[in-house]
Structure 1
Amino acid sequence: MPLRVLLLNWRDMHHPEAGGAEKYLVTVAEGLAARGHEITFRTAAYPGAVAEEVVNGVRYIRRGGRLGIYPRALMANLVRRYDVDVVVDVQNGMPYLSPLTRRPVVNLVHHVHKEQWPVVFGPRLAKAGWWLESRLAPIVYRRTDYVAVSDATKAELAGLGVRSPQIQVIHNGTDHTPAGNTPRSTEPTIIVLGRLVPQKRVEIALETLDRLRDELPTLTLDIVGSGWWDTHLHEKATALGLNDRVTFHGHVSEAEKHRLLARAWVHAMPSLKEGWGLVVVEAGVHGTPTVAFSEAGGPTNSIVHGRTGLLVDQGVDAFVEAVRLLLTDDALRHDMSQEVAQWVTQFHWDESVDRWERALTAAASRRC
């Protein structure tokens, strides 16, 4: 039986700060719509946004800004503005508190934000945000189903008191998109792909380039993505004297993204926290291995250490050494390239949509 589903997420794929989390939700939403389900996606407005539209079978409603979306969405939900069977509440640190509406809810969590609150906000707001996420939310959502995108996130939620049987893991799929006949770059190239915000720590990639440029005089760095931290990163590149070695591509098309991933030797992900790290698998489609921090959580599931990429402990030194190893050891890089291209073939969006369809059907069959 077709379901009427309300998705609550602070961004959609058209938002200038959209990233892997939005790709995940939009892909699932469009997959469900293609199967005949009625999908409404409530999200934040942004400059130039269309207030309401239907894209690939999904109805988008954009109201409120970065923080204003939360009370507005809750009020709309409380007054039953949308006639739906189940609500998907994406808890991106900040909860929508949808269980207060007495509707069936599935709470989607990409990762816990304990480390990120102080990076983005001042001490008081960070403390309040962490209280909402770690104290209030587990109480409000205590009778709801959870979906985590990785086993690492499931463990984090369990650490906050969420019962393990409530949490189902539904991984990202991947687009098995070949980049045509794009050859690997003849010169060593690092790529960073994602939103340009402080918690992504792109500065570490710049520091890596700076430290390795004497050993690898033709080494370059591609930074792909946009965000409000862009100016700071440009200033950092200039201060390090790297302007002739770094290309800031900004937001690019899917085709260009895959072309850049295909030509890179190494994908660097110095992010503070990731639920899964979709770009790890996207890079892997092209045989490009990833270096990431194990402390980030999700990459410990999306990377098989020593086989499809390298995981390092805290510290810039360890990160630089791991990137250096992959750039200079041709045999190791070749073996990892072969293995990661094979390993990522196990992740399919159709399977992710299947599991979401079952989860939503089960949730909708219950009444709060």
Structure 2
Amino acid sequence: MSAPRPVAVAYDCLFPYTTGGGERQYRAFSEAMVDRGERVEYLTARQWDEANPPRESFAVRAITPELTLYDASGVRRSAAAARFAAGLFRSLLRRRRAYSAVLVSGLPVLNVFAARLALLGSGTPLAIDYLEVWGRRQWVDYTGRLMGNLAWSLQRLAVAVTPIATCHSQLSANRLRAEGFRGQLLVSPGLIDDRAADSSAHPAPVANPPFVLYAGRHIADKRVEALPAAVAAARADFPDLRLVILGDGPQSAAVDEAIRSVNGAEWTERPGFVSEKTLTELLSTAAVLVNPSRREGYGLVVVEAAAAGTPVVLVADPSNAATELVTPGVNGAIAPDIDPASLGEAIGTVLRGGTDLRDRTRAWYDDAVQTRTIGRTVDGILAAFDRARKKTRGARSASAQEGPL
């Protein structure tokens, strides 16, 4: 008896070789599929030393050499996106009937065309996972007028040819429909990693002195440079409050300048990227995690903080889907904007919530981990693949029965 055909998961990055929400998500998808008895091949760009290839529960297939994904300003490089899409097309075309189904990230958008064209007529179910869906203005702001309009037009075309779409917020679902999607749309219940959930954990005590934590890349959309002034404002009521900014990126110089502008060097730490162990420790003992980002497709950091009992402060923005995960007074606060007074007041609100708010935050997580999980999301994707296969078999059966009696 031949082995069952694998499911392919395609993304140009693989955690932990590269870090970020998408990398964690697609790795977790792959692991959850394996847990459910599926064979999985993860199609990606090479990110490892050939002498030490990945050893995972799923197979990893490098379909391109190593790619430089971002330019100096933190914008994804079109050349890298095109090269990965070409590699994806060649790989899927050669193995168009080798997979039971294919899940492809819709970012970069060229992946959609590569997979759709390679699998055309094969009968292999294809789902496109949309981490985010941008409007025209977002694309123009991100890459400039010419490339922005082109990217937006390509996104609309990609959405139109997507057979099954998955996304992880109501914001993305609404934008997919607004951009013209008319196919089967799966809005996931959530992206909590149920494999890592610990129902016995309790919030750790806040460090003394307390500190505000930021964890992530320093790019324009994250607006990390807003933090020093906001914490300086909060220090008017909490004079021992400190700030820890993790990560690095193109905006780091602006962050350093923002620290200097409020004389924050004595109460701010900038350790850069840290180990997973150190990140966990900081996340557990932070008084509050603040993410002033203007755009998020889901907001995994909200969930990760809540697992530690650490409430979160976010900023309201039309492109910030992470705010869907925060209930003010339950697991954090939402500032109306990044003005130091507004953001500082939201930080102060959380600090005044104290232990009671930390307990409510962990209770929110304990409830969410029952339903808003990677496992539930993968179950929905696999069910959609099964429906697509049955529909294809039904169409072929009907076609075979056509003709004179």
User: TM (normalized to structure 1)?
Assistant: 0.86
TM-aligned CA deviation for residue 283 of structure 1? 0.6
**Percent sequence identity over aligned pairs:** 23
TM-aligned CA deviation for residue 268 of structure 1? 0.6
Structure number with bigger Rg: 2
Aligned pair 1:312/2:335, yes or no? Answer: yes
Q: 2:186 is matched with which residue? A: 167
For residue 276 of structure 1, the aligned residue among 282, 292, 298 is 298
Q: 2:117 is matched with which residue? A: 100
TM-aligned CA deviation for residue 129 of structure 1? 1.6
Task: Give the letter for the 1:100 counterpart.
Answer: L
Alignment CA distance shift 1:79-1:168 (3 Å): same
Q: 1:6 is matched with which residue? A: 8
- Taking the TM superposition and a 5 Å limit, the aligned residue runs for 1:157-306 are 157-163=176-182, 165-174=184-193, 175-177=196-198, 182-295=204-317, 296-306=319-329
Alignment CA distance shift 1:139-1:206 (3 Å): same
CA RMSD of aligned residues (A): 2.9
Aligned pair 1:110/2:112, yes or no? Answer: no
CA distance in 1, matches of 2:177, 2:278: 39
Q: Deviations over 1:181-228 (max 9, x none)?
A: 953112231111223322211112233123334443322112223444
- Taking the TM superposition and a 5 Å limit, the aligned residue runs for 1:66-145 are 66=69, 67=80, 68-80=83-95, 83-96=98-111, 97=113, 98-101=115-118, 102=120, 103-114=124-135, 116-133=138-155, 135-141=156-162, 144-145=163-164
CA distance in 1, matches of 2:220, 2:55: 33
Q: 1:19 is matched with which residue? A: 20
Question: Secondary structure at the residue paired with 1:167?
Answer: strand
Q: 1:337 is matched with which residue? A: 358
User: Quick check: 2:63–2:88 contact (8 Å CA) kept in 1?
Assistant: no
Q: Deviations over 1:286-313 (max 9, x none)?
A: 2211111232432232112332211233
CA distance in 2, matches of 1:45, 1:240: 43
Alignment CA distance shift 1:193-1:360 (3 Å): farther
TM-aligned CA deviation for residue 91 of structure 1? 1.0
Single out whichever of 298-307 and 145-154 deviates more from structure 2: 298-307
User: Quick check: 2:169–2:187 contact (8 Å CA) kept in 1?
Assistant: no
Q: Deviations over 1:23-78 (max 9, x none)?
A: 11101101212333221212234585779644233324252522221222123323
Q: 2:402 is matched with which residue? A: none
User: TM (normalized to structure 2)?
Assistant: 0.79
Single out whichever of 355-364 and 174-183 deviates more from structure 2: 174-183
Q: Deviations over 1:68-94 (max 9, x none)?
A: 212221233234378212111111252
User: Quick check: 1:120–1:198 contact (8 Å CA) kept in 2?
Assistant: no
User: Quick check: 2:202–2:309 contact (8 Å CA) kept in 1?
Assistant: no
Q: How many aligned positions are there?
A: 361
Gaps of 5+ in 2: 70-79, 396-405
Q: 1:42 is matched with which residue? A: 43
CA distance in 2, matches of 1:262, 1:88: 34
Single out whichever of 99-108 and 160-169 deviates more from structure 2: 160-169
User: Quick check: 2:314–2:333 contact (8 Å CA) kept in 1?
Assistant: yes
Alignment CA distance shift 1:195-1:218 (3 Å): same
Q: 2:74 is matched with which residue? A: none
User: Quick check: 1:266–1:289 contact (8 Å CA) kept in 2?
Assistant: yes
Q: 1:56 is matched with which residue? A: 57
CA distance in 2, matches of 1:51, 1:163: 44
Single out whichever of 119-128 and 254-263 deviates more from structure 2: 119-128
Task: Give the letter for the 2:349 counterpart.
Answer: L
Q: 1:321 is matched with which residue? A: 345
Q: Deviations over 1:239-292 (max 9, x none)?
A: 543233222233333332221111111111111111211110111112211111
CA distance in 2, matches of 1:246, 1:56: 40
CA distance in 2, matches of 1:349, 1:58: 19
CA distance in 2, matches of 1:252, 1:361: 41
CA distance in 1, matches of 2:129, 2:51: 25
Task: Give the letter for the 1:32 counterpart.
Answer: M
Question: Secondary structure at the residue paired with 2:228?
Answer: helix
User: Quick check: 1:40–1:58 contact (8 Å CA) kept in 2?
Assistant: yes
Alignment CA distance shift 1:154-1:3 (3 Å): farther
CA distance in 1, matches of 2:55, 2:202: 31
Alignment CA distance shift 1:44-1:231 (3 Å): farther
Aligned pair 1:359/2:384, yes or no? Answer: yes
